[in-house]
């Protein structure tokens, strides 16, 4: 039975900068994101005999940096970069725009309705993104067999994998919010049937700010 352990990357600098951070503009983790990743490294370093068969990262700098901090907890396992596990691609027109500039030009993205509709002009539709993630998961499971893989990826990837594992609607119905460096674990019980072992496990983040922006706003109010 294949076991997939998804880890959302640590807080990204583009999030702090309020920028749409696609593959062209991502510049890695914020200081808090590195602290979050270090906490996860320390958590997994204390787990005996946890040696995943594969350690995978998306090609985004924020995912690769998270993997580089956390993966030494597993020993000498190499990190394989699989670009198909990247986040929903906003396309070159929107990648790197400030959120305020994007909404001024195009309005708020519609994540809840037609998955074939335009979310980012020139970018992936939700349907295209989810098809890419589903295909990447299937390919990984075929390679993995009865092994375990840790996948350093993105909130949208975790959202899609969870929805597809439960055969839930691709958009709407319920809201998923995956915390930075949280752990989501899926077990393939038999072909076509997944078991959700855990979602959004972030116990290692106790005592850290929820975000850099929240921390800054709290400091400014004092």
For every residue of 68-84, DSSP letters joined together read HHHGGGGSSPPEEE-GG
Q: Look up tokens 């990262």; give the residue.
A: 57
Whether the predicted pLDDT of 218 surpasses 60: no
Residue 167 belongs to a domain with what CATH number? Answer: 3.40.50.1240
pLDDT at site 174:
72
Q: What is the mean pLDDT of the chain?
A: 93
Count structural domains, the chain. 1
Is 142 a domain residue? yes
To the nearest whole percent, how much of the chain has pLDDT over 90? Answer: 81
Whether the predicted pLDDT of 180 surpasses 60: yes
pLDDT at site 77:
78
pLDDT at site 213:
83
Dist CA 40 CA 113 (whole Å): 35
81, 59 Cβ separation under 8 angstroms:
yes
Dist CA 126 CA 90 (whole Å): 10
pLDDT at site 176:
80
pLDDT at site 220:
40
Identify the band that residue 219 occupies on the pLDDT scale cut at 50, 70 and 90.
very low
Is 148 a domain residue? yes
pLDDT at site 221:
37
Per-residue pLDDT averaged across 86-99, rounded? 97
CA dihedral sign, ordered 204, 155, 149, 201: positive
Is 9 a domain residue? yes
Taking only the tens place, the pLDDT of each residue in 32-76 is 999 999 999 999 998 988 999 999 999 999 999 999 999 999 987
- Alpha-helical (H) ranges within the chain are 13-16, 31-45, 61-70, 99-106, 126-144, 155-165, 212-221
Taking only the tens place, the pLDDT of each residue in 109-151 is 888 888 998 899 999 999 999 999 999 999 999 999 999 999 9
pLDDT at site 113:
80
Identify the band that residue 215 occupies on the pLDDT scale cut at 50, 70 and 90.
low
Helix (H, G, I), strand (E, B) or coil at 107: coil
DSSP, residue by residue, 111-150:
-SS-TTS-SSTTS--HHHHHHHHHHHHHHHHHHHTT-EEE
25 lies in which domain range?
3-217
pLDDT at site 169:
84
Residue 56's closest CA among 141, 167, 134, 146? Answer: 141
148, 53 Cβ separation under 8 angstroms:
yes
Identify the band that residue 17 occupies on the pLDDT scale cut at 50, 70 and 90.
very high
β-pair partners for 81: 57
Per-residue pLDDT averaged across 165-186, rounded? 89
Dist CA 142 CA 196 (whole Å): 19
Taking only the tens place, the pLDDT of each residue in 182-191 is 999 999 999 9
Is 222 a domain residue? no
pLDDT at site 216:
53
């Amino acid at each position: 039975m294949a076991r997939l352990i998804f880890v959302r990357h640590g807080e990204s600098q583009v999030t702090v900068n309020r920028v749409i951070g696609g593959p062209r503009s991502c510049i890695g983790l914020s200081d808090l994101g590195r602290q979050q990743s270090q906490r996860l490294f320390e958590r997994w370093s204390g787990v005996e005999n946890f040696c995943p068969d594969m350690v995978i990262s998306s090609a985004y700098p924020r995912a690769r940096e998270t993997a580089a901090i956390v993966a030494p907890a597993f020993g000498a396992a190499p990190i394989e970069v699989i670009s198909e596990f990247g986040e929903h691609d906003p396309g070159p027109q929107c990648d790197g725009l400030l959120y305020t500039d994007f909404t001024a030009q195009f309005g708020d993205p519609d994540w809840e309705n037609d998955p074939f509709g335009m979310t980012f002009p020139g970018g992936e539709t939700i349907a295209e993104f989810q098809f890419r993630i589903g295909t990447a998961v299937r390919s990984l499971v075929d390679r993995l067999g009865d092994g375990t893989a840790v996948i350093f990826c993105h909130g949208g990837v975790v959202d899609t994998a969870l929805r597809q594992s439960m055969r839930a609607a691709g958009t709407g119905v319920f809201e998923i919010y995956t915390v930075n460096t949280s752990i989501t674990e899926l077990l393939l019980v038999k072909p076509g049937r997944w078991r959700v072992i855990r979602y959004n496990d972030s116990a290692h983040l106790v005592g850290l700010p929820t975000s850099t922006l929240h921390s800054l706003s709290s400091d400014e109010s004092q």
